[in-house]
Structure 1
């Protein structure tokens, strides 16, 4: 994104209207000219927690899934707040499955790929995430109580 690497995570919400299933069509909003996409690993929370330590954070993971963080960029950049660009209907396809935490030995060594119209557009690895998963869980739990079924997207790795 041609920005300095942050020292703390940039956190924003994708509301429930954004969630759609893998394979569902994502509508191009008629009020926009800039639809963007980011392949991300999504952490699915398995139990309630608040003020979770990094040492305990992985105990709160039920599993992982894929998330495509679709952003309406021209709306996102209209204000310093990202909510409007991140909250368009059906702009958060997830899935198609959740893999339980016990099935993934190292979530910091997973390939992430995104195709658009059969063209590979992104290919990277979770080992290059700016913030690791225990840090993200701990950080978000300082802001809010995490509930079972909450999803934390890790952000897109890459240069």
Structure 2
């Protein structure tokens, strides 16, 4: 069965493939101070418990992706990233919706994530998607200036 979800601006969402690793690493590095290497994405893409969802066009040019980990009745959003030229076009919102829809077919009943307290756009996206802050981890994310940002731990029920 092929899984596809609709996304804005002529994009669709489908499962990631191992050949996507370099594109995912590039997009991730554009959004985060410490991007992850392509080899790490290759490992995730080859594991059943770490599904990757990619938003792409008909030629499979990737605009963004979401990566989760499923463990028993919990899921964790490990990362989500959108190519800078696609930001503000509801791609992240569509990726989250596809993730939630797919998780309805899994044993996961709650999803967690961590987000830097200074990432206002992501916090707004997660709030709109039903996540609430449940705790904080001080000094969790390193910043380019040598300081560290607090990570907000957020959660939402899946249904």
Give the TM-score normalised by the residue count of structure 1.
Answer: 0.27
Higher relative contact order (CA 8 A, sep 6+): 1
* Structure with higher helix content: 2
